[in-house]
Chains A and B, each alone.
Chain A
């Protein structure tokens, strides 16, 4: 008579459907880390300017880790026309943000004007590179896009740009330089938000859809951060300890989790 003694004795059962769910504990952990950091900033630095060193370090490390993870994933698909190029573009994009944050930190340390400079060019470069990532994936997996889909892909950025412009004009009554530099961020980030949403829809029914959903959450966090930052910057209300920064910190961590999930799935 046969007896099953240990778990390892049991025959493996092939799952009917591939499973790879999003671990809510990871998302809660990210939320916990950024919330704790914000509470710490409020408690230790009543004057936001005193937190500049710590905030700069965190702002640089976050996209740096994301870009390193991006390159590790890109190496896994190295040489392949779609995944290889797409993940390389995303990794380079994250590196641009890391370099942008580094230059921003240097400018701030040296007391230079940070309202507009080379860091903005580096930050801008992030968006077309993410767009390359999205276009390569979507063009390969969904070559035919319906008119309805095309219309909402255009409508989402249009709505975000309109809301940002309306709110800024309503409060300021005119378009200043900060408004226009901020507008560029809003336009670019709303385009990648729309593209990521389309990507998440394409892969929705498959396990890869889970990784895209996490990526979408990360992009939503970064996009909301961009719109909020641009709005605050237009009215000179931005501070280093402003809770808006949490969106950036969490956004990168969520993107790291999305990259990890992608390489686990496929």
Chain B
């Protein structure tokens, strides 16, 4: 189970991490890495994304300096960080087809699109989101939870209610999304919210190099 405090971007990356290892290095390698993660830290691969330095340590135990290339591959297979000067450096091209599909499907669903649009630039509590987006409570909560589980919505601060309860506020991990068709390929580019990049332990570790 992915924790709710996990960065939205890390949740997105975790979804493709095991696929990347399996695809490039085989099922057996993935198994060995998972076994070592559990043996050393008591966590699984998805949880290790949240605490990326632990995954980094385990990968270095196996691959030495080669771990850096492997980590870059994870990221490159999923997203491409745009490095052009004219564009905002936080623009990211989604390379992983399952992630691109996830984003397209979310924006294809009218309610989910409205939910995401409501929290593009400002964090809000769920009831407020549903009220602004004119979505009924029952289906609305289900759709919000689905967006949280998929990492497209991330917890960002909280409010204290009249009865003293803490209620989380949510924000989209993107500030903008563009969907283009280039040479018969759907290209999804997203402008990541600054805090999404700052909260992502994998991006922090990879970018520090």
Contacts and interface: CB of A to CB of B under 8 A. Distances in A.
Interface of A: 14, 17-18, 76-84, 140-144, 201-209, 265-266
B24 interface: yes
Contact of B66 (A18, A80, A202): A202
B69 A83 contact: no
Contact of A142 (B40, B60, B69): B69
A77, A141, A209 — most chain B CB neighbours (10 Å): A141
A208 B24 CA distance: 16
Interface of B: 22-29, 32, 36, 39-40, 60-70, 72-73
Given A144-B69, A206-B63, 5 more contacts: A14-B40, A18-B61, A77-B26, A83-B26, A140-B69
A266 B66 CA distance: 14
B61 A141 contact: no
Given A17-B61, A206-B64, A77 B29 contact: yes
A172 B55 CA distance: 58
Nearest to B73: A140
Contact of B61 (A78, A83, A206): A206
12 contacts: A14-B39, A18-B61, A18-B62, A78-B26, A79-B26, A141-B68, A201-B65, A206-B65, A207-B61, A208-B63, A265-B32, A265-B62
B62 A77 contact: no
Nearest to A202: B66
A120 B66 CA distance: 35
Contacts of B27: 80
A80 B63 contact: no
Contact of B70 (A17, A81, A140): A140
A204 B24 contact: no
B26 A141 contact: no
Nearest to B28: A76
Given A14-B40, A77-B25, A266-B32, A203 B63 contact: yes
B63 A77 contact: no
Contacts of A82: 24-25
A205 B62 CA distance: 8
Contact of A203 (B32, B39, B64): B64
Contacts of A205: 60, 64-65
Contact of B62 (A143, A202, A266): A266
Given A14-B39, A143-B72, A83 B65 contact: no
B24 A81 contact: yes
A209 B64 contact: yes
Contacts of B39: 14
B23 A204 contact: no
Nearest to A77: B26
B27, B40, B61, B63 — most chain A CB neighbours (10 Å): B63
A139 to B, nearest CB: 8
A202 B64 contact: yes
Contacts of A209: 64
Given A140-B70, A141-B69, A143-B72, A77 B64 contact: no
A127 B54 CA distance: 38
B58 to A, nearest CB: 9
Given A18-B36, A206-B60, A142 B25 contact: no
Contact of B26 (A14, A17, A84, A206): A84
B28 A266 contact: yes
A265 B28 CA distance: 10
